[in-house]
Structure 1
Amino acid sequence: METRTGSERSIPHKREIHKRTADANALASGEAPIESKPARQSTRKPGSGSAKGPYYVDFRARTAASWGHAFVWYGKTSERAVEVAGLTPAGDTLPYIIGHLTWVPSETGASYGDLDPQYLTASYRVYLNEPDAKKAFAYIKKLQASSPVWNAETTNCNAFIGSIASFLGLKTPVRWKRPEDYVNSLKEMNGGRQMVQLAAEQ
């Protein structure tokens, strides 16, 4: 659900890339600070949803020239580096227009604006333990490798992050929403729970 102008598709200056990455990394580390003191023993029941694990998947939405774009950040809470995955049409405006009629080639990495905090419109972050994170991150990379096409109605950005949410055991809304509404609905449908645990057979 994204279109980009020619200027947006041009390769930014290296310093601008470094600045955007630094901003994103600072935001990632700011949203999940590292604990410097030994944690107190929790009195909450398992699955209460407030505990935070060492790894995360962050479902995000941002502004775009059209309806917006949904994507995920994922990584380790103690590290500034973030990985980005999302589904967009490959190319400029024409593939986006054609993608409303049929399938067009896709891109599944970071797109323009994904690392810019000022474009963020919604975010829902969940945390995982290390064994589950390894499975989840492997699934995301597999999904990227097996998503060669984009279509506005079917294989769109909401459907892409919805597949990730389903793998994590989260309830998902219908994909025909604005990305901002989709991410907010995803959070609401799951009660804002923060900790997720994969099924044993996954």
Structure 2
Amino acid sequence: MTNKADRSGSCILAGFALAAMLSCTTPSASAHQANKRVADANALATTDTAARPQPQSRRSVARAEKGPYYVDFRARTAASWGHAFVWYGKTSERAVEVAGLTPAGDTLAYVLGHITFVPSETGASYGDLDPEYLTASYRVYLNEADAKRVFAYIKELQANSPVWNAETANCTGFIGDIAEFMGLEVPNRWQRPENFVNRLKEMNGGRQMVRLSAE
């Protein structure tokens, strides 16, 4: 009985130690709760790695646009494994909507989410709009009719994703559902977000235009 109590006490202490460590390295997401933020989508979204993009003229950027709407599958750094999420919106506008699956709250919810389900948030989180945190990006363009269907699906997915769990209801699974709805080939979802996004692009041959099948 004494050994069992000692082991339980050690696990509890280890959990609090992990929470304390992460709280020192994970900034609060309270400043990024809005689902719609303004950012320069064209300037940030086409890089596949964290390398600085080469300067482009206005004419070359215009030629790269394949459709009036887009979904950008993205990955960024975080205190642990990283985070996967999407930007989506209209190509000609600077307004960006962000969707992703994260635990609601700060460090404690993240720690508990590795052993049980915890309440989730599905909007922008800390770092989603900051280019210095970006590690991978795969942007896909849509026509207006398809964009309406995809954007509606994203909103529906956000409304029906009330919990987060590191193993079964995580960020790569969330954006993987969006990619699957769009008809893209989807990689194994249990991998680092950066690897997931890069593999998603590779499996689909880097295709930039997606057309949904008829309903």
Q: TM over 0.5, yes or no?
A: yes
Q: Is the 8 A contact 1:51 1:195 kept in 2?
A: no
* 2:146 paired residue number: 132
Counterpart-to-counterpart distance in 2, 1:130 and 1:121: 29
Superposed displacement of residue 92, structure 1: 1.1
* 1:87 paired residue number: 101
Counterpart-to-counterpart distance in 1, 2:57 and 2:99: 24
* 2:186 paired residue number: 172
Give the residue type in structure 1 aligned to 2:74: R
Counterpart-to-counterpart distance in 1, 2:111 and 2:189: 19
* 1:29 paired residue number: 42
Mind listing any 5+ residue stretches in structure 1 that lack a counterpart?
41-49
> What root-mean-square deviation, in Å, do the aligned CA atoms of Structure 1 and Structure 2 show?
2.8
Give the residue type in structure 2 aligned to 1:78: S
Q: Confirm whether residue 186 of structure 1 aligns to residue 205 of structure 2.
A: no
Mind listing any 5+ residue stretches in structure 2 that lack a counterpart?
1-18, 47-55
Aligned length: 180
Counterpart-to-counterpart distance in 1, 2:68 and 2:58: 11
Superposed displacement of residue 5, structure 1: 3.4
Counterpart-to-counterpart distance in 2, 1:159 and 1:10: 21
SS at match of 2:80: coil
Counterpart-to-counterpart distance in 2, 1:125 and 1:141: 19
* 2:167 paired residue number: 153
Q: Which moved more, 1:3-12 or 1:121-130?
A: 3-12
Counterpart-to-counterpart distance in 1, 2:197 and 2:131: 16
Give identity over the alignment, percent: 72
Query: Cα gap change, 1:11/1:160 in structure 2, threshold over 3 Å: closer, same or farther?
Result: closer
Counterpart-to-counterpart distance in 2, 1:152 and 1:199: 32
* 2:23 paired residue number: 5
Q: Confirm whether residue 77 of structure 1 aligns to residue 94 of structure 2.
A: no
Q: Is the 8 A contact 2:66 2:209 kept in 1?
A: yes
When you count helix as a share of all residues, which structure comes out higher? 2
- The Cα offsets for residues 45-97 of structure 1, whole Å up to 9 and x where unpaired, read as xxxxx871100000000000000000000000000000000000011111111
- The Cα offsets for residues 11-61 of structure 1, whole Å up to 9 and x where unpaired, read as 459xxx9xxx66xx22x133589987xx99xxxxxxxxx871100000000
Query: Cα gap change, 1:91/1:128 in structure 2, threshold over 3 Å: closer, same or farther?
Result: same
* 1:58 paired residue number: 72
SS at match of 1:9: coil
SS at match of 2:155: helix
Counterpart-to-counterpart distance in 2, 1:111 and 1:136: 21
Give the residue type in structure 2 aligned to 1:177: Q
TM-score (norm 1): 0.81
**Regions of 4+ moved over 6 Å:** 32-36
Query: Cα gap change, 1:34/1:154 in structure 2, threshold over 3 Å: closer, same or farther?
Result: farther
